[in-house]
Amino acid sequence: MKPTAMTLAIAAVLTGLNAQADELKTITVNADLRQTKEQDLPASADIKNSAELQDQGATHFDDVLLKTPNVNYSGQSSRARHIQIRGIGERDEYTGAPNASVGFAVDDIDFSGIGMVGNLFDVKQVEVLRGPQNTRYGQSAIAGLINIQTNDPTDYRENMIETTLGQDQLKEFGFMTSGPVSAEKGAAQYRIALFKHDSDGFRTNETLDRTDTNGRDELTVRGKLRLFPNEHTTVDISLIHADLNNNYDAWSRDNSFTTLSDQPGKDTQLSNAGSVKVEWNSNPNYTLVSKTSLANSDMLYSYDIDWLADATNEDSIYANRKHRRTASQELRWTSKNNSKLFNNTTDWLAGIYLSHLEESNKRNEVYDYPSSTVIYNTDANSDFTHNKLALYTRLDQAITPKTTLQYGLRVEHNQQTFDLTTHQYGDDTNWGGAPYDNTLTDNFNPDETLWGGSLHYIHKYSERHTAFVGATRGYKASGFNAALEGTQNVKFGSETLYNYEIGLKSNYQELGLKTSTTLFYMDRVNPQFDGYTYEPNSSTNWVFYTENFDSAQNYGLETEFDWQVNRQWNLYGSFGLLQTRVNGTPVNTEFTISGRDQALSPNYQFNLGGKYRSANGFYAQIDLSAMDEYYFDNVHNFKSKAYHLVNTRLGYETKDYEVYLWGKNLTDERYATRGFYFDADWDGNDDKFIRLGDPRQFGVTARIYF
């Protein structure tokens, strides 16, 4: 029987759809305790793989952060360090005991709170897990976890060179090489990646007649080595060197891109780190994984206090020098098929985690008025250590072939020491005051044991649909404020969070469509919030602190889709809704926050985009991301404005090379990434100041494979 035209058309469509299905590769989530398929993970997660990152031209986590639903950041530094997930996170870069809400790791190395090292060149995937991840990652992840996994060594030779030129004196260069060290079977494999970024920072300093006072000078070098001592053992060694020597001159009195500072600041981070992962598979009952990491980071954060070129105030500067060292060891036992529990229905895992963190801060804040011999000076030196010992376990019990109950528990003992010496002196006799010279000391040595757990019900309706419902108890350790000496707010208590979620993940392979939707409700008990006020006995010097409120609630929705319409067209998008409330009385009793939205918690966020990739090599992409207005802080009612950003990318791709023309923020939207509200001129009137996000920028990127 001769096929009809309709039959041939249908066959062609089905062939195309099958090709689409082949392109929907299975994604494994490495941040989970047991490597899990994204489809089966009972959590709200956003996973961006290497191809997606390259398509977007993302070279730093900053480039994808705001395209992730219900993820925001505080533009308080030259790179995104202070990240919020579902409205929870810190906002400022000031002295104090480190106490991150969002976990941040690169190749099993903990950089929580200092995530400037989030370079994305030659990265395998970026995983953003929303909601408390304490069972997986401990007390640093009450809001969520960001896990960056770089590409592994390969058993074949591959090399790549990438270069970018763009406006704002943007220059980037990347080089990658990978392969086996020899042709012998079972030979060790290596991978080396180097990336250099230079740019001016979109500011013009009129005082110094320079355009680079807010510029970036960043070098990242990563090395990996994979060894095979025997057929049952794999050893992965990762090394990271990150030298971020950035300037910091982002603020102006007229909220523009023109600055007047006569002493521009710095925002630097020099990190050297390494990790060793050993996996043993020789035992028939379990797999044993050992993870060891070491990291050493030196940071400087400084700025011109008044943002002006005022000869009578030429020495008014803030500087904080920070040194952090971390070491961790983790052992994890994961069951195999012949060691399942309860009539062979339950997979299990158990682990032990130990870590040691040391951090020293040296803060110097000077207000010097030579013309009137008025001086205010604060020196604060703090030393902090944090030792953790955690035990955790998880059971995955198959109730039926399609239904799984997942139980998780983590118990963590935290031992902290905090020593602080503050020297304050000044002389404002000419302004009606008197000389003073005070030295204050504080030290604390608390021990506390915290615990978190989770219970999830997972039902796999079919290969297409997986639903889950779960409850999680998260926690965050107590801590100290480095500048509220002698007051009742020096210490703040631990926080407990109860998170409830229900979600559905679908994979329509025949249509090339993947979707994911999660509804969540978070009840925060004794929630921690940061704020700022004047130092005790001072009307000029600011202090930044963390305090506890009575309660808070965060609830909303996250949904994402990825539709490979055919071989040429791909449509994608994400949408986040967030409602927040907070109740309590802040340190600054003149302001009432009860019943108001939490800071940096926009009610909506979305990202929509499309890609076209033709067989002849032509490539095009455009995406739109938008964010609602939000409060900048919990100590005033100053808000940002809602905004949207449009990015585009045009290119030509072959097997051996790729060339792209790209544009960011095509409409040249003026938007804020941080805001302050205070009396800058001491005239009794508070002023509004914003730190502007990057304006429109065009550039070209070329990539060669060999």
pLDDT in tens, 172-199: 999 999 999 998 988 999 999 999 999 9
- pLDDT exceeds cutoff 60 at 503: yes
Contact present, 269 and 114 (Cβ < 8 Å): yes
- pLDDT exceeds cutoff 60 at 13: no
Q: What is the pLDDT of residues 395-440, one digit of tens each?
A: 999 999 999 999 999 999 999 998 888 787 777 666 566 777 778 7
Cα–Cα distances (Å) from 390 to 329, 367, 451, 477, 493, in that order, read: 11, 45, 9, 13, 20
- Give me the mean pLDDT over the 245-256 stretch: 95
Those residues whose C-beta lies under 8 Å from the C-beta of residue 106, and which sit 6 or more positions away, are 117, 118, 148, 150, 240, 273
- Give me the mean pLDDT over the 468-484 stretch: 86
**Least-confidence region, from 93-97, 475-479, 518-522, 666-670:** 93-97
Q: Dig out the tokens for 391 from the structure.
A: 């035990």
Dihedral sign from CA coordinates of 335, 338, 340, 341: negative
Cα–Cα distances (Å) from 207 to 112, 251, 304, 308, 620, in that order, read: 36, 14, 12, 8, 42
Largest CA distance in the chain: 106
**Cα angle 617-622-623, degrees, rounded to a multiple of 5:** 140
Q: DSSP code of 401?
A: S
Tell me which residue of 344, 330, 210, 321 sits closest to 267, measured CA to CA: 321
Average confidence score pLDDT of the chain: 89
Grouping H, G, I as helix, E, B as strand and the rest as coil, residue 184 is coil
- Give me the mean pLDDT over the 287-303 stretch: 96
The values of phi and psi at residue 17, to 5°, are -65, -35
Q: Which residues are 123's β-sheet partners? A: 150
pLDDT tier for residue 685 given thresholds of 50, 70 and 90: confident
Q: What is the pLDDT of residues 40-49, one digit of tens each?
A: 899 999 999 9
Q: What is the residue extent of each domain of the chain?
A: 5-705
Which letter, b or e, does each residue of 242-252 get, where b requires 16 or more Cβ atoms within 10 Å of its Cβ? bbbebbbbbbb
pLDDT reported for residue 6: 39
Tell me which residue of 515, 531, 471, 469 sits closest to 497, measured CA to CA: 471
Q: Report d(CA 317, CA 305) in Å as an integer.
A: 5
- Give me the mean pLDDT over the 233-248 stretch: 97
DSSP 495-506: EEEEEEEEEEEE
- Kind and range of the H or E element at 64? helix 62-65
Which of left, alpha, beta for 589 (phi over 0: left; psi -120 to 50: alpha)?
A: alpha
pLDDT reported for residue 280: 96
CB count in 10 Å sphere of residue 145:
28
Q: Report d(CA 552, CA 81) in Å as an integer.
A: 24
The values of phi and psi at residue 482, to 5°, are -90, 0
- Give me the mean pLDDT over the 444-465 stretch: 93
Grouping H, G, I as helix, E, B as strand and the rest as coil, residue 311 is helix
Q: Dig out the tokens for 409 from the structure.
A: 């528990």
End-to-end CA distance of the chain: 50
Cα–Cα distances (Å) from 45 to 30, 131, 603, 688, in that order, read: 12, 9, 19, 36
Q: Report d(CA 172, CA 118) in Å as an integer.
A: 15
Tell me which residue of 259, 165, 171 sits closest to 214, measured CA to CA: 259
The structure tokens 């020099």 sit at 270
Q: Which residues are 34's β-sheet partners? A: none
- pLDDT exceeds cutoff 80 at 466: yes
Q: What is the pLDDT of residues 22-55, one digit of tens each?
A: 444 678 888 888 888 888 899 999 999 999 999 9
- Give me the mean pLDDT over the 557-562 stretch: 97
CB neighbour class for 423 (10 Å; exposed up to 12, middle 13-18, buried from 19):
middle
Q: Report d(CA 318, CA 440) in Å as an integer.
A: 20
Greater model confidence, 245 or 310 = 245
Cα–Cα distances (Å) from 473 to 454, 489, 556, in that order, read: 6, 26, 18
DSSP 231-252: TTEEEEEEEEEEEEEEEE----
DSSP 71-122: EEEE--SSS--EEEETTBS-----SB----SEEEEETTEE-TT-GGG-B-TT
CB neighbour class for 16 (10 Å; exposed up to 12, middle 13-18, buried from 19):
middle
The values of phi and psi at residue 670, to 5°, are -95, 115
- pLDDT exceeds cutoff 70 at 307: yes
pTM for the model: 0.92
pLDDT reported for residue 443: 82
CB count in 10 Å sphere of residue 64:
21
pLDDT reported for residue 592: 75
**Cα angle 379-96-523, degrees, rounded to a multiple of 5:** 155
- pLDDT exceeds cutoff 50 at 237: yes
Contact present, 98 and 79 (Cβ < 8 Å): no
pLDDT reported for residue 431: 59
Q: Of all residues in the chain, what percent carry a pLDDT higher than 70?
A: 90
Do strands 144-150 and 102-106 pair parallel, antiparallel, or not at all (unpaired)?
Answer: parallel
Q: Report d(CA 143, CA 84) in Å as an integer.
A: 7
The HSE-up count of residue 383 (CA atoms within 13 Å, CB side) is: 4
Fold classification of 5-705 is: Maltoporin; Chain A (2.40.170)
